[in-house]
């Protein structure tokens, strides 16, 4: 009998960083969409909180620590 394949959904997040009426974008490199501008972000890890993911991804991609984090549409 064949083993059942575990299907796990991928949840992606993007973080809008705004300061002094400016928004931070990064330019993708070395991956799909190379050369495109995007917000810092990435994929939620298994059992990770969304806020934790947002802080981790911003730190990994920009070196910045988020002071004020709000969730929204």
Does residue 54 contact residue 45 with C-beta atoms inside 8 Å? no
What the chain holds in terms of domains, given with CATH numbers, is 12-62 (3.90.79.10)
Question: What's the pLDDT at 1?
Answer: 59
Taking Cα atoms as reference points, which of 58, 24, 23, 50 lies closest to residue 67? 58
pLDDT higher than threshold 90 for residue 24: yes
Q: Measure the CA–CA gap between 54 and 69, rounded to whole angstroms.
A: 9
So what's the pLDDT on residue 2? 67
From the centroid of its chain, how far is CA 52?
A: 10
The per-residue pLDDT of the chain, averaged, comes to 90
Work out the average pLDDT over 35-62.
94
């Amino acid at each position: 009998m064949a083993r059942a394949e575990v299907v796990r959904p991928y949840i992606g997040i993007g973080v809008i960083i705004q300061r002094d009426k400016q928004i931070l974008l990064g330019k993708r490199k070395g991956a799909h969409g190379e050369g495109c501008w995007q917000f810092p972000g990435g994929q939620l890890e298994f059992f990770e909180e969304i806020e934790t993911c947002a802080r981790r991804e911003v730190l990994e991609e920009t070196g910045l620590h988020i002071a004020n984090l709000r969730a929204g549409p």
